[in-house]
Structure 1
Amino acid sequence: MIEVEHLTKRYGGQLAVDDVSFTCEPGTVTGFLGPNGAGKSTTMRMICGLTPPTSGGATVDGVPYRRLGNPGRKVGVLLDASAQHAGRTGREILALAAITMGLDTARIPERLAKVGLDKTAARRRLRGYSLGMRQRLGLAYAMLGDPAVLILDEPANGLDPEGIFWMRGLLRGFADRGGTVLLSSHLLREVEAVADRLVVIGNGRILVQGGKDQLLGEAGTLVRAADPAELDSLLQSMGITGSRSADGSMLVPSDPQTIGKAAAAAGVVLLELRPAGAGGLEEMFLRLTGNGHGDSKLEEVTR
């Protein structure tokens, strides 16, 4: 289990991560999402002990990463697929990792094959790898010690569609066997396909978190009227506060039936009325992060 409690990181006067707390449980894939600069990578680096927090902390199975004995046997980490010596071969990189962790190097060919790297790729130096090949090698490195936890930052970068589909199966299988996965990715549809839980971060703080099905099912209602002013008056009379998007539609914390009946009774002509979650994770993500600050109205709607 990964437990993150009130993690905060300041760089001078800049607040990069602001009181972030969440939990990743065994048997689940947690999608860690947010726009560029939201604080995802900083949070993951703090979990892995690479960046000291200003306050708060994170543990894996109750122990801070830096205090884990032989951490590669417990936590597999892939934060930067290019963070290896460019002059070493794929086999050499895994061999050095195996020796460091006290593992038998005889397992390396099987581990390379598992991530789709053949004998030719194993002999090639890292500088000759494509980004997709580096990602595959990074996954082999992360899983070399048979850890129970995986922490992966953008592992699908550079993979072709077949590779992305392969990785989805790999991570889903890992979690189904009881493993814990924390996955950061910009490929929202792939995250939606594999994740059990979602944590969305913006401007360094949590915008929303919870089970994927719950969040997508309780995201509220999207409603758009021929006369936006009439819709505003209707919602005000109902005591409902919504959030308007760039296309003029409103995201409101109510169900479509209630809004539809009230609009019909008041003579308000609606052009759109549907559950917000019907558009999937991508739509929810864009609406959460589109305001740039993840205001409290959106947070209330999606919790």
Structure 2
Amino acid sequence: MIEIEHLTRRYGTQLAVSDVTFSCPAGTVTGFLGPNGAGKSTTLRTLCGLAAPTSGSATIGGRQYRELPNPGRHVGVLLDAGAQHAGRTGGEVLTLTAKVLGVPRTRVGEMLQLVGLDGGAAGKRVGKYSLGMRQRLGLATALLGDPEVLVLDEPANGLDPEGIYWMRGLLRGFADRGGTVLLSSHLLREVEAVADRLAVIAGGRLVASGSKEELLAAAGTVVRARERVALEQALAAAGIRYDAAEDGALLAGDEPEPVGIAAARAGVPLLELRPASGAGLEELFRSLTHAGGPADAAPTTPTAQEARA
């Protein structure tokens, strides 16, 4: 179980994350979504003890990451696949990690085989790895201690379609065995395929959280008219937020009835008016984050004082 409660994190005068609250129950995959600079990485860094909250809390199993004994045995973390020793082989990276965690050496071979890096790839230096191979090695490292929780930031970055499909099955199986997965990704269709729950952040603030079914069911209304500009004006006059959808339609942030009434009052004939629950995660993401932006993003590299915090 992961609990983020009223989490706020400042970097100097910059507010990176503000009053963020959501949870990730055991046995679920939670997709953590947001535009670049929205505060996802700051939230994950705080959860994993790399930054201290300015206020609020981020806990795993009721404890802060820093309080966990041998945390790698409880939480598998992959925040940056590039943060690996380029001069060591994949096998050496896992062997050293196994010694630190105190797990049997046999786990190294098991994990290399699991992620498809056994054989010649295990003896290859990490500096010669492709990005996809580094992602696989990062996942092997995260899983090495047989944790109950996985915290992953863009784990599919660099994977080919077959690799993405493989990772989806890996994470789904982990959760189905009772594990907890918190997954940040820009690959919305992949998140939609694997996630049970969603948490969406924009401008450092949480804009939605809950089960995937609940959020997609409340995605708004798809509306289409021959006179699109007139429809846009009608929605704006009624105070209904909207965004562009596929094939010239609009995605309105309200139920079908008030959307239809706004169009009727303005004398705009409609060609389509339906709930957007079938529009998928991409439309939901756009509707929720349209007003958000990277203005409150944290610095990429914290100061030395912040890194020690």
TM-score (norm 2): 0.87
Aligned to 2:92: 92
After superposition, the CA RMSD in angstroms is 2.3
Alignment partner of 2:280: what SS? helix
Matches within 5 A, 1:62-211: 62-211=62-211
Aligned 8 A contact 2:7 2:58 in 1? yes
Q: How far has the Cα of 1:228 moved from its partner?
A: 5.2
* Amino acid in the other structure paired with 2:36: N
Aligned to 2:302: none
Q: How far has the Cα of 1:262 moved from its partner?
A: 8.0
Per-residue CA distance 1:84-137 (angstroms, 9 max, x = gap): 211111111111111111111122112100011122111111101100000001
Per-residue CA distance 1:226-275 (angstroms, 9 max, x = gap): 37557766897xxx64103256835142136x755886698530133222
Aligned to 2:297: none
Per-residue CA distance 1:185-233 (angstroms, 9 max, x = gap): 0100000000000001011110111110111112221224437557766
Aligned to 1:254: 255
Please point out which of 219, 242, 245 is paired with 2:243: 245
- Give, in whole Å, the separation in 2 of the partners of 1:234 and 1:177: 47
- Give, in whole Å, the separation in 2 of the partners of 1:210 and 1:222: 22
Aligned 8 A contact 1:227 1:269 in 2? no
Go from structure 1 to structure 2 and tell me whether the alpha carbon gap of 1:175 and 1:234 turns closer, same or farther (over 3 Å shift). closer
Per-residue CA distance 1:19-56 (angstroms, 9 max, x = gap): 11110000100000001101100100000000112111
Aligned 8 A contact 2:234 2:262 in 1? no
- Give, in whole Å, the separation in 2 of the partners of 1:142 and 1:260: 50
- Give, in whole Å, the separation in 1 of the partners of 2:49 and 2:104: 27
Go from structure 1 to structure 2 and tell me whether the alpha carbon gap of 1:85 and 1:11 turns closer, same or farther (over 3 Å shift). same
Matches within 5 A, 1:217-228: 217-225=217-225, 226=227
Aligned 8 A contact 1:242 1:250 in 2? no
Aligned 8 A contact 1:241 1:252 in 2? no
* Amino acid in the other structure paired with 1:243: R
Q: How far has the Cα of 1:284 moved from its partner?
A: 1.1
Aligned to 1:17: 17
- Give, in whole Å, the separation in 1 of the partners of 2:231 and 2:136: 54
Percentage of matched positions with identical amino acids: 64
Matches within 5 A, 1:213-292: 213-225=213-225, 226=227, 229=230, 241-246=239-244, 249=250, 251-255=252-256, 259-260=259-260, 268-292=268-292
Deviates more, 1:258-267 or 1:30-39: 258-267
Aligned 8 A contact 1:234 1:266 in 2? no
Go from structure 1 to structure 2 and tell me whether the alpha carbon gap of 1:290 and 1:261 turns closer, same or farther (over 3 Å shift). closer
Which ranges in structure 1 are unaligned for 5 or more consecutive residues? 295-303
Alignment partner of 1:170: what SS? helix
Alignment partner of 1:94: what SS? helix
Aligned length: 290
